[in-house]
Structure 1
């Protein structure tokens, strides 16, 4: 119902939570969903840990390089991602195959049966996690700043606020934001709030 009164967003920046991504895409059909590069990197590292490959990462230079290349793949133009992934695959040690299989399944799309070029839809489309265009447009590639704001806002709001208190907190936040924007527009430098 609220959607009817709002202008639809051009894009959403979020973590790689499939339920959230599906909801955004169903609610705002034309909205571009942007995954956070930091969280993608964290997901990759968690899989290194879950596959028991931390020692290999620390001691094997080729494994380390393969991991770094995979982490850098979001910086390649979307149209070149699959070819770049193939290059990474060809230049990675055998011990890195679990990571490549995971990434291909969830982020690239596995090759369809009896095909050498047609791929299945991955869980997360390349356009969702690729940051090349964002860098070209000087847009953020991560949403850590939003998470930091949310943490501060949550601390200011306390747990389980009433609707009235929550609305007042949003009003206060809006007023603070407008003051900061006025200061920036008048040439002042913005000082971050100290949470301590």
Structure 2
């Protein structure tokens, strides 16, 4: 609901100030709610995301769930999960299902969070799309 309000307010502001928001692309975080709200507010827009945000938010969750440690094997398995974002859409589900049993039971909340909250990054890493927002942040 917050994202819906945000994008509706942005559209209202643009209309009131005669600003054209007809861009073919919008850049957002990886959250599905944010992506859905942006696509609803800006019909026909192509959504682009950054892998950096997926890593950053995953690290916050790892800390939140008390999983931050120096276990190299566990760290590698988490990197495998994040790397799913680079697979073609058709391969993600089968690869995820292969990796899921390899993740320790204590990390099931992290796996569930990744499964429910985040989406594919494959298309956002295409040619001509910057991998960070640094280009627009000045």
The two structures have a TM-score, normalised by structure 2, of: 0.73
Match of 1:141 in 2: 131
- How big is the shift at 1:99? 1.4
- How big is the shift at 1:33? 1.6
Match of 2:60 in 1: 46
The 8 Å contact of residues 10 and 31 in structure 1, kept in 2 or not, is answered as yes
Match of 1:68 in 2: 79
- How big is the shift at 1:97? 1.9
Q: Which has the higher contact order (CA 8 A, sep 6+)?
A: 2
Counterparts in 2 of 1:24 and 1:141: CA distance versus 1, 3 Å? same
Match of 1:99 in 2: 110
SS of the residue 1:74 aligns to = helix
Q: Is 2:101 the partner of 1:90?
A: yes
Query: Higher Cα Rg: structure 1 or 2?
Result: 1
SS of the residue 1:49 aligns to = helix
Q: Within 2, Cα distance between the matches of 1:70 and 1:144?
A: 26
- How big is the shift at 1:101? 1.3
Counterparts in 2 of 1:85 and 1:52: CA distance versus 1, 3 Å? same
Unaligned runs of 5+ in 1: 108-125, 150-196
Q: Tell me which of 20, 25, 28 is aligned to 2:42.
A: 28
Let me know the Cα RMSD of the aligned residues: 2.6
C-alpha distance after superposition, 1:88-122 (max 9, x if no partner): 21322333322111111213xxxxxxxxxxxxxxx
- How big is the shift at 1:79? 1.7
Q: Tell me which of 25, 30, 44 is aligned to 1:11.
A: 25
Q: How many residues align?
A: 124
Unaligned runs of 5+ in 2: 1-11
SS of the residue 1:33 aligns to = strand
**What aligned pairs does 1:181-196 form with structure 2 within 5 A after superposition?**
none
